[in-house]
Amino acid sequence: MLAVSPKVVEALQNALHHELVSITQYTSHHEVFESMGYPGLSKMLFDDAKGEMAHYEQIADRLLFLDVMPRAKGKIEPLLLDPPDIVKMLEADRELESAAITEYNEAIRLCFKENDHGSRGLFEKMLVEEETHYDNLDRLLKLIETHGAPYLARLAAQPPEMGAGGA
């Protein structure tokens, strides 16, 4: 059996929690955007949720490979606004991506120190995908900021150009 660093296990469990929060929030936003009449935005968030689900699976796999039961700790509290506010919801989604980028960069440094390069490789792969998610949301928010209501009206009619999935 492989010698496992408890610090790396903790980082993997924290990542599991982060992915669960993202899956829950993006799936909720996907449903809210759909109900508001924004099918393109709705699809973008659904694709993101699927990407985070793939991350969840990969982290759970890694923990099981290390003989640790994959348990996510902490509360799952997606940001839901009533009435919905598209910009604030997208900003909260971008914030989750930003937090994942910070967390996974730290995890990569930790894995390197603990000499667990298998886990480091997983964090590196996920980091690049979170950066893409962040970039897509950031670009979208900047377009909304620049063009305002007319751009939002266009979004209601057609999907944004970028696909923010990335498993």
Q: Contact residues for Fe ion (CB under 5 A)?
A: 19, 52, 55, 97, 130, 133
Of 62, 45, 31, nearest in space to 126 by CA = 62
Nearer CB in complex with Fe ion: 32/51: 51
147: left (phi over 0), alpha (psi -120 to 50) or beta: alpha
Nearer CB in complex with Fe ion: 19/116: 19
Of 9, 27, 7, nearest in space to 96 by CA = 27
Longest distance between any two alpha carbons in the chain, whole Å: 59
Nearer CB in complex with Fe ion: 99/156: 99
Minimum CB–partner distance for residue 58 and Fe ion (Å) = 9
Minimum CB–partner distance for residue 134 and Fe ion (Å) = 7
Minimum CB–partner distance for residue 19 and Fe ion (Å) = 5
